[in-house]
Amino acid sequence: MKRGRTVALCGGVGGAKLAYGLSRVLAPEELTIIVNTGDDFEHLGLAISPDIDTVLYTLAERADDTRGWGRADEQWTVMQELARLGGEQWFRLGDRDIALHLLRTQFLRAGKTLTQTTLELARCLGVAHPILPISDDPVRTIVHTDQGDLAFQHYFVRERCVPQAHGYSYAGAQTARLSAQVRTTLQDDGLRGIIVCPSNPYVSIAPMLAVPGVREQLRACRAPVLAVSPIIGGRALKGPAAKMMSEAGAEVSALSVARLYADFIDAMLLDIEDSALAEQARHDDPKLVCEPTVMRTREDRIALARTCLSLLDQLRH
């Protein structure tokens, strides 16, 4: 029997790991990965799309899993020379990674959209599953901090997330249009389901939800929508999500994330470690489910993908 397509909404590392697992159990025509572009920026004249690249490199099995960004087997000749010449050093670009940014910049300057560019880069890397930026129009996360408003990469990398963040906005999101590919994917009547990956709710998922139509389409979706919590036992496995939640005045828990998505998800997958928390909450809406979610190995990624797909199928029936 032909199964419908599964859609993954995805940010950086955690999202990319689940997208990888899904890509190993679903054929390219059964999976579309929609990716955050709120982290994108121009640096040293190059168009950089960190979350798209994390997904591309992860699916191509070329990601540096230890660092959590950039290419495996990387070299740093350009950065070293840039340092000698007195160029900017705060954002490190490896030589192999730079090759991808050069191509992206060339394609964009030649008039291709970010969607066309990303599909082309995926092809170059041998990735067959469609990876779609949420929009071809720029959406840029701004972090409102005690040191003023900071562009996302300035907050995240240059300032190492040290400033206290009290809010976020997504410049350009209000007027950004969904690409035709993303719109068609979300409107597909035959979807198997939508998975909101375990990505940072404020800076990976919220920028996508801020694009007009996304939240509405998720709410209206007839197929089940399942979110996977990026918070386990009150901690984020990687990245600043826990710090951001506590600075936003939210309880640092999977339940807080479930509340942020409550209007459009049917169920929230919490880690097995949070079973007691789910028991206390006794939610019906959204439904809370506890299973192992930590992805240390390749097998863990595939196991979580299978768990998500079987939950989607249960929710549908």
Write down the least CB distance from residue 162 to ligand FO1, Å. Answer: 12
Q: Which of 92, 183, 243, 306 binds ligand FO1 (CB under 6 A)?
A: 92
Contact 284, 1 (CB under 8 A): no
238 touches ligand FO1 (CB under 6 A): no
Interface map 14-53 toward ligand FO1 (x if CB under 6 A): -------------------------x--------x-xx-x
Q: Which of 97, 136, 271, 274 binds ligand FO1 (CB under 6 A)?
A: 97
HSE-up of residue 198 (Cα within 13 Å, Cβ side): 30
Q: What does the alpha-carbon distance between residue 136 and residue 94 come to, in Å, rounded to a whole number?
A: 26
59 touches ligand FO1 (CB under 6 A): no
93 touches ligand FO1 (CB under 6 A): yes
Helix (H) or strand (E) holding 8: strand 6-10
Q: What does the alpha-carbon distance between residue 284 and residue 306 come to, in Å, rounded to a whole number?
A: 23
How many residues line the site for ligand FO1 (CB under 6 A)? 16
* Residue 10 dihedral angles phi and psi, to the nearest 5°: -145, 140
- Pairing status of strand 193-196 against strand 225-228: parallel
Task: Select 98 or 311, whichever has its Cβ closest to ligand FO1.
Answer: 98
Q: Find, among 195, 180, 135, 199, the residue nearest to 6 by Cα.
A: 195
Please, which of residues 118-177 interact with ligand FO1 by CB under 6 A?
Answer: 153, 156-157
69 touches ligand FO1 (CB under 6 A): yes
Q: What does the alpha-carbon distance between residue 125 and residue 80 come to, in Å, rounded to a whole number?
A: 26
Positions in the binding site for ligand FO1 (CB under 6 A): 11-12, 39, 48, 50-51, 53, 69-70, 91-93, 97, 153, 156-157
